[in-house]
Amino acid sequence: SGSGALVSASYARTRAALAAVASGSGHMKIGCLGDSTQMGAYSLGSGTATADNRKVSHTPFFAAALNSVEHPAISASFVGDSLSNAIATYDPRCTITSGWISSSVLGAGGKMIQNSTTTTSFQFLPNEPVDTFDIYYAKNTGLATFSVGRAGDTGSGTISAVAAAGVGKYTFVGALCNVPLAINRIAGGGVFIIAIDAYNSAQKSIRCHNIGWSGSRVSDWIDASTAFGPLPSLKALGCDHYIITTGINEWGLLTDLATYKTQLTTLIDALLTVGDVSLCTGYPSQKSGTTLAVQKTYIDAIYAVAGSRNLVINDVWLKIGSWEQGNAFGYYSYSLHPGKALLQLKAESDAAMILSL
């Protein structure tokens, strides 16, 4: 193990989705799942909650890498409060008004955005012109009705989240423009927004979702204690391919290896019911925190699980060698967190991996 070689797998759904985008007959969705290194924490060494950290994170580089080889791709979605209570700072495409908070209720990508008290709006302004928004939200008895609309569009949608527990999806279609989507609670209990996927319906593209969640581990991602929790909502996103980057927080907290392998297998098996899955090893972290020998045991665990499910692996850990080696090349910005150059390197190698399938 630890060779970094790609293993053979079918990946029929990935190839079919790529072909659909190339022919202009359909879209593709790729979910990039990971921890704080995925969401871009400290990517410029300036703290976790600056706006530039979202821009200088894995997924915009991933979309750019796909675009550079003539595979049209966008990174215009929002998936949860990945930082916990700092979404409007980390991602200023989001505007939080009175009554809207980062919820203690968790979904894909961390905390949901919640309003249980006011009728003011939560707004999301994509980073490029779009005409379609897929809004994912929690459903349950005792929740609210809410509206979805945009300034300049005629009409709006009204959604009731009062239903059996689960994940709801509402698609709002308006004019092609760069105007914020506004979600307003109307009445009842709470509104819980999990994700917003924004795109131009006429331009078939690869829609790249940044599902980074600071401090999270695989044990968080497989939480299905509610029908709208992290694992059910990850599945509800319906990605054609999920890239799972894992390891750093497991070896940092010395998660039991057998438990880790079981949990990672559970996650993979659940997502394989929706789309294809590939794995990426975590970035090397400082030896003073976790020795390379210990880190290697978790890398071996990732390979063992990948082998059991015949999955491809992008072994970033092997490519860098160690935090100390990578840091000498300017790859790290803070502690175990990768900087811009390393995030771009990983994103480009992820893109190459996807296109090789």
Per-residue pLDDT in tens (0 to 9) along the chain, 357 residues: 333 444 445 899 999 999 999 999 999 999 999 999 999 888 888 777 677 788 889 999 999 999 999 999 999 999 988 776 678 888 889 999 999 999 999 999 999 999 999 999 999 999 999 999 999 999 999 999 999 999 767 668 899 999 999 999 999 999 999 999 999 999 999 999 999 999 999 999 999 999 999 999 999 999 999 999 999 999 999 999 999 999 999 999 999 999 999 999 999 999 999 999 999 999 999 998 999 999 999 999 999 999 999 999 999 999 999 999 999 999 998 778 999 999 999 999 999 999 999
Q: If residue 141 lies in a helix (H) or strand (E), which one and from where to where?
A: none
Q: How far is CA 110 from the centre of its chain?
A: 10
- Cβ-based neighbours of 38, under 8 Å, separated by 6 or more: 32, 57, 58, 59, 210, 211, 212, 213, 245
By the 8 A CB rule, do 78 and 199 touch? no
With vertex at residue 282, the alpha carbon angle to CA 277 and CA 256, rounded to the nearest 5 degrees, is: 90
Specify the pTM. 0.95
In the block, tokens 């394989």 appear at 272
Q: If residue 157 lies in a helix (H) or strand (E), which one and from where to where?
A: strand 157-160
pLDDT at 52: 75
Number of helices and strands (H, E) in the chain? Answer: 13, 19
Tens digit of pLDDT for each residue in 210-261? 999 999 999 999 999 999 999 999 999 999 999 999 999 999 999 999 999 9
> Cα(78)–Cα(61) distance, rounded to whole angstroms?
16
Pairing between β-strand 313-314 and β-strand 276-281 as defined by DSSP bridges: parallel
By the 8 A CB rule, do 12 and 257 touch? no
Report the amino acid identity of residue 301: A
- Cβ-based neighbours of 93, under 8 Å, separated by 6 or more: 78, 124, 125, 126, 127
pLDDT at 6: 42
> Cα(316)–Cα(263) distance, rounded to whole angstroms?
21
> Cα(236)–Cα(87) distance, rounded to whole angstroms?
22
With vertex at residue 18, the alpha carbon angle to CA 264 and CA 40, rounded to the nearest 5 degrees, is: 50
With vertex at residue 312, the alpha carbon angle to CA 309 and CA 318, rounded to the nearest 5 degrees, is: 120
Sheet holding 94-95, edge to edge: 94-95, 121-124, 181-188, 144-150, 157-160
Tens digit of pLDDT for each residue in 312-328? 999 999 999 999 999 99
> Cα(314)–Cα(334) distance, rounded to whole angstroms?
23
